[in-house]
């Protein structure tokens, strides 16, 4: 077959006229089939990947351009991004990340439609690519665009008149976020002047600014991201910046007592509830892990007791609520006393280890006031009642006159009311520094307005394993569609840009895949008719 014949053959199969395909039409058809509600999942049915490719489903996912335009409305890149990311369920960042965490932990396809599985896998793939394949500055900027697109907002590129900008992106409701992508232990830094200006003058300044702080874990490649968030506003800026502002000596927190802010009665209420829950969970774990026959017997007695059974139910409940418990591991919390009694010492150790680690996973994502949180502590100020009064006066001043509050805070910070020189604007004394140890603390109460959103894997190998677990549960035709799309695109590319020896086979592969896709879609349309 000569070149003209090949061109005509390809055009015949990929032209819009006469019922042929273009890539856009093909993708529209794929989306239509996947969104139709047709039962594309086969319960318990394994699927062999095609003999020719044997690729991971991660290799077969649709690819599109990594772009900072994700963070801008009405761009082609944003529309392509939303096509997939709008399937990530949840109205808030907390809900969306919990949804993804549940997807990665459960591996239960019965809970997800095909389009949701593909979108979730693409979310993980894109997130991993952004944090691992770009420079720190490039990754940070793309991450801002990614989060803006995920929350249906915009990356902050336009300044609000009269306000020194500190926000990096806005969500769909226009709520501002400042994003910090850090390595563990890194300092959260920012301009004191810009922060105070934002709180005093921004239209949403009274609500504060939310700092989304994301830590990258892993040597070399980033294996996981741990998401934290805290909001600084006019009511708690004194707690967060006490050791950054030299003029704040009168309201400085006592060293070693940086957490708290709750009334003592409230703290005691949380303490009693948490201790009660901890006793149940400790029984479910079998008490402290130690060696010896007597220790093993004691552990068994605790685990099969009424408290131990209740503790296992508590672990199951909160493990599911926080999406840190996989479906296959639920059975390890549903064990009857007779089943525990039959365990070998080695299996008992593994069971206790699992329950202990699950307890730790739950504690790491719940707030301090949660029944499984950490007991809160009180705040102590070096200036006692006088310090508290000073803080209350500043809060009252903001509510009366934000501009006057701004001037007072700048004075307390040792900064001039107006910037005079560039050196003054960028000097060491103009920056606040928040230690990561404070952000990751498990005992920060509500006054700090801090939450932990949990951890999301960005490890490529782990993501491939997650993808392949779901792929085994997909109906064969879904995998066939993805495989033929992969061959189709590769074939077209190889035909038009490959060397002379590769053009013929590449074109043949493209045409054959086109025919197979046409057959599969025809069958699906008949099933839906």
Task: With beta carbons less than 8 A apart as the criterion, state whether 71 and 148 touch.
Answer: yes
d(CA 393, CA 475): 65
- Whole-angstrom Cα distance, residue 74 to residue 80? 10
Distance CA 297, CA 284 (A): 14
> What letter would DSSP give residue 159?
P
| Residue in this structure with the two tokens 């077969």, named with its chain if needed | 60
Name the nearest CA neighbour of 521 among 110, 6, 7, 40.
40
Question: For the segment 352-368, what is each residue's pLDDT rounded down to a tens digit?
Answer: 999 998 998 898 888 77
Going along 12-86, which residue ranges are E strands? none
- pLDDT band, very low/low/confident/very high, at 37 (cuts 50, 70, 90): very low
Tens digits of residue pLDDT in 402-461:
999 999 888 888 887 765 443 444 444 588 989 998 898 877 778 889 988 889 999 999
- Which of 177, 140, 152 shows the shortest CA–CA distance to 82? 152
What's the pLDDT at 397?
95
| Burial annotation 288-307 (CB, 10 A radius, 16+ → b, else e) | eeeeeeeebeebbebbbeeb
Contact 57, 479 (CB under 8 A): yes
d(Cα 481, Cα 53) in Å, to the nearest integer? 13
Contact at 8 Å (CB) between 26 and 489? Answer: no
Give the pLDDT band of residue 396 (cuts 50, 70, 90). Answer: very high
Residue 242 zone, left/alpha/beta (φ > 0; ψ -120 to 50; rest): alpha
Residue 332 DSSP SS3: helix
SS3 annotation, 337-395: HHHHHCCCHHHHHHHHHHHHHHHHHHHHHCCCCCCCCCCCCCCCECCHHHHHHHHHHHH
In degrees and rounded to multiples of 5, residue 220 shows phi and psi of 75, -100
* Alpha carbons 118 and 115: distance in angstroms, whole number: 5
Q: What's the pLDDT at 257?
A: 59
Q: Answer yes or no: are the C-beta atoms of 218 and 169 closer than 8 Å.
A: no
Mean pLDDT of the chain: 80
Residue 216 sits at φ, ψ, to 5 deg, of -95, 125
- Both tokens of 309, joined, read 């059974």
**Residue 174 CB: number of other CB atoms within 10 A?**
10
61-86 pLDDT per residue, tens: 877 788 899 999 989 999 989 988 99
Whether 120 contacts 474, CB under 8 Å: no
The answer to whether the CB of 248 falls within 8 A of the CB of 238 is yes
pLDDT score at 260 = 56
Do residues 120 and 148 lie in contact, with contact meaning Cβ atoms separated by under 8 Å?
A: no
Residue 477: its pLDDT value, please? Answer: 55
Buried b / exposed e along 351-387 (16+ C-beta atoms within 10 A): bbeebbebbebbbebbbbbbbbbbbbbebebeeeeeb
Q: Which of 256, 211, 212 is nearest to 236 (CA)?
A: 211
Domain map of the chain by residue range?
1-40+475-495+502-529, 265-365
Whether residue 395 is predicted with pLDDT greater than 70 in this model: the reply is: yes
Both tokens of 347, joined, read 């299996």
Residues above pLDDT 70, as percent of the chain: 77
Quick: pLDDT tens for 218-254: 888 999 999 999 999 999 998 898 877 766 666 776 6
- The tokens describing 191, both together, are 């301009």
12 pLDDT exceeds 60?
no
């Amino acid at each position: 077959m000569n070149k003209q014949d090949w061109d005509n053959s390809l055009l015949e199969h990929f032209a819009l006229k006469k019922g042929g395909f273009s890539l856009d039409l093909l993708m529209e058809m794929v989306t239509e089939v996947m969104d139709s509600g047709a039962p594309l999942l086969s319960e318990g049915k394994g699927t062999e990947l095609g003999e020719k490719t044997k690729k991971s489903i991660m290799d077969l996912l649709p690819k599109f351009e990594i772009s900072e335009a994700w963070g801008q409305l009405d761009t082609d890149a944003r529309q392509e991004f939303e096509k997939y990311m709008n399937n990530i369920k949840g109205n808030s960042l907390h809900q969306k990340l919990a949804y993804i965490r549940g997807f990665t932990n459960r591996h239960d396809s019965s809970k997800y439609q095909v389009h949701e599985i593909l979108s979730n896998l693409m979310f993980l793939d894109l997130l991993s690519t952004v944090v691992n394949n770009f420079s720190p500055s490039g990754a940070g900027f793309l991450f801002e665009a990614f989060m803006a697109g995920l929350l249906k907002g915009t990356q902050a590129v336009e300044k609000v008149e009269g306000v020194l900008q500190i926000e990096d992106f806005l969500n769909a409701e226009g709520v501002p976020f400042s994003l910090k992508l850090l390595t563990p232990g890194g300092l959260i830094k920012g301009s004191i002047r810009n922060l105070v200006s934002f709180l005093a003058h921004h239209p949403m300044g009274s609500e504060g600014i939310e700092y989304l702080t994301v830590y990258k874990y892993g040597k070399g490649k980033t294996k996981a991201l741990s998401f934290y968030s805290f909001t600084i506003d006019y009511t708690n800026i004194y707690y967060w910046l006490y050791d950054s502002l030299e003029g704040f000596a009168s309201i400085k927190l006592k060293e070693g007592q940086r957490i708290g802010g709750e009334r003592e009665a409230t703290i005691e209420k949380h303490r009693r509830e948490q201790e009660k829950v901890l006793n149940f969970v400790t029984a479910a774990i079998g008490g402290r892990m130690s060696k010896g026959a007597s220790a093993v017997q004691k552990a068994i007695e605790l685990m099969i007791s009424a408290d131990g059974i209740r503790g296992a139910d508590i672990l199951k409940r909160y493990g599911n609520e926080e999406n840190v418990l996989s479906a296959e591991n639920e059975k390890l919390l549903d064990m009857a006393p007779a089943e525990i009694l039959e365990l070998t010492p080695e299996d008992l150790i593994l069971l206790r280890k699992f329950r202990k680690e699950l307890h730790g996973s739950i504690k790491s994502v719940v707030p301090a006031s949660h029944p499984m949180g950490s007991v809160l502590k009180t705040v102590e100020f070096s200036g006692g009642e006088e310090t508290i009064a000073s803080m209350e006066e500043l809060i009252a001043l903001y509510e009366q006159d934000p501009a006057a509050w701004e001037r007072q805070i700048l004075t307390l910070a040792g900064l001039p009311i107006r910037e005079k020189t560039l050196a003054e604007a960028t000097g060491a004394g103009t920056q606040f520094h928040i230690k990561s140890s404070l952000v990751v603390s498990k005992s920060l109460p509500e006054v700090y307005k801090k939450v932990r959103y949990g951890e999301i894997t960005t490890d490529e190998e782990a993501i491939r394993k997650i993808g392949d677990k779901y792929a085994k549960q997909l109906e064969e035709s879904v995998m066939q569609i993805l495989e033929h799309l992969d061959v189709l695109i590769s074939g077209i590319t190889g035909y038009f840009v490959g060397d002379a020896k590769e053009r013929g086979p590449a074109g043949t592969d493209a045409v054959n895949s086109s025919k197979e896709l046409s057959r599969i879609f025809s069958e699906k349309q008949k099933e839906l008719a």
